[in-house]
Amino acid sequence: MQTLTARRLLTPIGSVEYPVITVGDDGLIAEIESDPTLPHANDTLTAAFLDVHTHGGMSHDVMTASPKDFVEFNRFLATRGVGQYLATTVTAPIDATLRGLEAIADEIERAHDGVATPIGVHLEGPFISHAKRGVHPEGDILPPSIELFDRFQAAARGHIRLITIAPEIPGALDLIAHCKALGVRVSLGHTNATSPETQAGIDAGASSATHTYNAMRALDHRAPGVLGTVLDSSSLFAELICDGIHVAPELVRLWLKAKGPELAILVTDSMSAAGMPDGAYTLGTFDVAVAEGKALLKSDLDRGKETLAGSILTMDKAVANVQAMTGASLGIAVNLASANPARMLGLEPAIRPGTVGNFNRFAASGRLEQTILRGKAVN
């Protein structure tokens, strides 16, 4: 049994002053009480983070990572406050995607203790728009196909939990409906969709939007397109990469005002260079150059063009950034990185007896100072 104390505990539904949390040997919360008589530091416990969009870190890409690579990556995520994540693919040749999904499924099914746990796959591509492909290889982008998705899901042994799709492509709406019927969440992204095309995707079953603003048709005051519809929707969750590079602070504030504290989701979209120094890295099958906080597609950079290739953001920095840019409280910022992605996936976000004892401890300054997974401190 492990006992955790703090000055306060922030949960998705409120706070507990002077909490005393007992976590059993099984890693599950056994009891939450309050005792103001015990000595406490001026610190705050919150839920650990859930990153639903990460491609890798510590020089490892989830599509090519070995079991040893995953151990290092999972440890790294844990030190940045992440308790669970979706291993996120990128558009690649079909055979490479199938191999990657099989290896990720192996990792998901392994036991994890004291490290971040992959709980599923986010399939980003290949069913995306050529016009808004970003760094996804043009030759590997494919039209939406239920048959091919089912092959991917079979290779992943049912672990695909989220898929990014451009709703305007012929066949997309059928695939969205198919995924919804299987319980797989659909996120609209890498899309040049008009407003009616976006709404059709929502009506077919889409529940989120992938890295809002990025790889989307630009907003026009007479033709709001996908971005206007995503921000205006009262039902759609919306991811955002809050690194100060992908989205300007003014538009971070607009995103949070539009989606509110219930539908906004922080993601990292981190690639293999996260946690590493500047240099040459890979994302899927292509080369990326990292310098001064930016991850750029090497082939475009050689031609004098800057194309962002994911990020080197970590979730603790995303949570700090959104507070600095918007004035959001720690509780709201943490919910954007924990409770909201959980609810988007259909998971229970509550901190209560019977749930996993994954927590982050923040100092009075707001700095993340400790991650606790299954009741045990990992850093």
Please give the positions annotated as active site.
Answer: 269
Question: Who contacts 379 (Cβ-Cβ below 8 Å, separation ≥6)?
Answer: 78, 79, 370, 371
Do 341 and 286 share a domain, yes or no? yes
Range of the domain at 254: 48-347
pLDDT (tens place) for every residue of the chain, 379 residues total: 999 999 999 999 999 999 999 999 999 999 999 999 988 789 999 999 999 999 999 999 999 999 999 999 999 999 999 999 999 999 999 999 999 999 999 999 999 989 999 999 999 999 999 999 998 999 999 999 999 999 999 999 999 999 999 999 999 999 999 999 999 999 999 999 999 999 999 999 999 999 999 999 999 999 999 999 999 999 999 999 999 999 999 999 999 999 999 999 999 999 999 999 999 988 877 888 988 888 888 888 888 888 888 899 999 999 999 999 999 999 999 999 999 999 999 999 999 999 999 999 999 999 999 999 999 999 8
Number of domains forming the structure of the chain: 2
At 292 the pLDDT is 85
Q: Are residues 303 and 369 in the same domain?
A: no
Q: Which backbone phi and psi does 10 adopt, to 5 degrees?
A: -100, 125
334 with 269, same domain? yes
**356 domain residue, yes or no:** no
Q: Are strands 82-88 and 49-54 parallel, antiparallel or unpaired?
A: parallel
Task: Find, among 151, 322, 127, the residue nearest to 206 by Cα.
Answer: 127
Asked whether residue 354 is assigned to any structural domain, the reply reads: no
Task: Provide the whole-model pTM.
Answer: 0.96
Both 86 and 31 in one domain: the answer is no
Q: Provide the CATH number for the domain around residue 262.
A: 3.20.20.140
70 and 198 housed in the same domain: yes
Would the annotation count 55 as a binding residue?
Answer: no
Task: Determine if residue 275 is labeled as part of a ligand binding site.
Answer: no
222 has binding-site annotation: yes
Q: Is 135 annotated as a binding residue?
A: yes
**Residue 98 counted as domain residue:** yes
